[in-house]
Amino acid sequence: MQYSTELETTIKDMVQKGRGILAADESSPTIAKRFKAINVEPTEENRCAWRNLLVTTDGLGDYISGIILFEETLGQKSGDGNTIPRVAWTRNIVPGIKVDKGKIPLALSPGDLITQGLDGLAERLRSYKQQGARFAKWREVYAIDKHVPSQHGIRANAEMLARYAAVCQEEGLVPIVEPEVLMDGGHDIDRHTEVTEAVQHAVFHALCRHHVVLELMILKPNMVLPGKGCRHAEPGEVATATLKVLRRTVPAAVPSINFLSGGQEPEEATANLNAINQQGLDAPWRLSISYGRALQQTALQEWMGKPEMVSAAQKALFKRARLNHLAMLGEYQITLENE
Catalytic residues: 178, 220
Rg of the chain on CA atoms, in Å: 19
Q: How does DSSP classify residue 235?
A: H
Q: Which amino acid is at 11?
A: I
Q: Which amino acid is at 282?
A: D
CB-based contact 326:337 (threshold 8 Å): no
C-alpha to C-alpha distance for 183 and 228, rounded to whole angstroms = 6
Stretch (H or E) spanning 97: strand 94-98
C-alpha to C-alpha distance for 252 and 232, rounded to whole angstroms = 30
Q: How does DSSP classify residue 248?
A: H
What is 2-44 written as a DSSP string?
TTHHHHHHHHHHH--TT-EEEEE---HHHHHHHHHTTT----H
Q: Sign of torsion, CA 193 197 199 203?
A: positive
Stretch (H or E) spanning 330: none
Instruction: Measure Cα distances from 239 to 11, 31, 187, 322, 338 in Å.
Output: 25, 30, 18, 21, 24
What is 283-325 written as a DSSP string?
-SSEEEEEESHHHHHHHHHHHTT-GGGHHHHHHHHHHHHHHHH
Q: Which amino acid is at 217?
A: M
- In 3D space, the residue among 316, 320, 285, 290 whose CA is nearest the CA of residue 303 turns out to be 316
- Nearest 10 degrees: Cα torsion 39, 79, 10, 126: 90
